[in-house]
Chains A and B, each alone.
Chain A
């Protein structure tokens, strides 16, 4: 069975075509078969998952299902606190820490009946990977395991793309949902700042942190966000406003929308690869054909947003980590500690200047986008780079396409827009005005429905857990392209070997005996 989307699974569960236990077991089998090569999971909570699934099954059979997510297997980025289950932030500093409370969003998803499969890899404390000096290895890209997933919600990106989970949680401070969604070929939304509670999630930078869902399709993201969104009086950033029906615009086209393309971001400020440009152009053609109006928009340079975002982020993150930075500096991985320390070197006036610049950028963008419903640019500059040999200061000198919407607080999502010459996915990024997620989902879904990209999953062949473990134990990392062949060979060998099985006496001699060489 191929892993279904959340929407497909919800229909199958409602029609009793599959049970939550069967669906959960499918995911557990797939995790066992392939995750030794992906490292998407830090911990698999199989017993908890099967317990959740049995409870969901009882509700469905009794006609008391809690909604469309009842019985849907998901997993959480390991910065989301989970009561009674270790939450590590992928760091030695939290290794073995077991929270006494669920994060608010974890509790909401559990209350909706989701099945929790486990905890997912992240960049350490949601920043700075890929790192090879942490207690767990970094997640790898299922489209080619020699390549990077981006981060920091790296495990969620890899696990969704590989069909190990139907959806999962991520967090996004400078692009940590949309980056891995882009490079892993899935959908991921950073909602409006304040829409989803951050309580119980390890903070990175409180004024830029966003929680949000990641899944195979736009519709699945809308279904997850429906449960995750909502006011939390314990989160000072939480927005006290009604939660609309995020699926309301799905299945419609983009007719009547005014879509602004920020061409200079991806053509001049940080020119993208041809495949990314083709994806953007393709999306604009599709929306225009559906009746949308396409206009060019000029906004401040990506470099302005990068500087503002990074200085705020690093200053706030250092304040979070300062006590441990002083006492346990070398327990952090090199990539995180080398970045974090800069927050301790920064002048307070520069932090405030960045906050002032943030205010200015918000005003400039608001004025430049009057009457515009949607903004479009790239999700990432190119296909995923190789995971090995990424420079320590990678991306310090290049602005990202995701940071503007953390600075602005606008909702933005990455959607797969095709594949590059190496066969890896590329993505567009679509953004909307604050709290306009319904429009955002509508336009993203209109693009997704008009393209064939959701029909193609990574060809990550399922090989047995034993083979996977053997490869991992031997330190062998095969290119994804080699795995279907290996899986075929293993299957042939297994079939041949099975023909030799039979009852033979315990003491029966084999045909071959050890023989000393004859003397000359």
Chain B
């Protein structure tokens, strides 16, 4: 999905959420969504490999019991 989203694509994304917007709400939120594009580009723009680790890790000792 491109970071710059056409109005039609935006409306398709909104439909996928299952949320029904009025035309005015659609206009307003589309304006905000276009302001998101530079931020999305920033997190995509680094030359990290597809194996790069994210900052969040799963720790079974925190979420599970210590005994097996």
Contacts and interface: CB of A to CB of B under 8 A. Distances in A.
Contacts of B20: 329
A311 B39 contact: yes
Given A345-B13, A352-B54, A310 B29 contact: no
Size band of the A side of the interface? 35 or more
Interface of A: 207, 236, 303-304, 306-308, 310-311, 325-326, 329, 334, 338-339, 341-342, 344-347, 350, 352-360, 362, 392-393, 396-397
B43 interface: yes
B17 A357 contact: no
- Per CB-CB distance, the 3 closest pairs between chain A and chain B, nearest first, are A355-B54, A358-B55, A307-B39
B35 A396 contact: yes
A236 B62 CA distance: 6
| Chain B residues touching A, majority SS | helix
A69 to B, nearest CB: 30
B26 to A, nearest CB: 10
Nearest to B41: A307
A393 B31 contact: yes
A326 B19 CA distance: 5
Contacts of A356: 43, 46, 48, 52-55
30 contacts: A236-B63, A306-B39, A307-B40, A307-B42, A308-B42, A308-B43, A311-B39, A325-B17, A325-B19, A329-B21, A338-B28, A338-B29, A338-B32, A341-B17, A342-B32, A344-B13, A344-B19, A345-B10, A345-B13, A345-B14, A345-B33, A353-B43, A357-B43, A357-B46, A358-B56, A360-B48, A362-B55, A396-B35, A396-B36, A397-B35
Contact of B19 (A207, A341, A359): A341
Given A303-B42, A311-B39, 16 more contacts: A307-B39, A307-B42, A311-B40, A311-B43, A338-B28, A338-B32, A342-B29, A342-B32, A346-B40, A353-B43, A355-B54, A355-B56, A359-B52, A359-B54, A396-B32, A396-B36
Contacts of B25: 338
B1 interface: yes
Contacts of B32: 338-339, 342, 392-393, 396
A310 B32 CA distance: 13
Most buried by A among B28, B44, B55: B55
A306 B62 CA distance: 29
B23 interface: no
B24 to A, nearest CB: 10
A310 B39 contact: yes
B55 A350 contact: no
A347 B55 CA distance: 18
B18 A326 contact: yes
A347 B1 contact: yes
B32 to A, nearest CB: 5
A358 B31 CA distance: 27
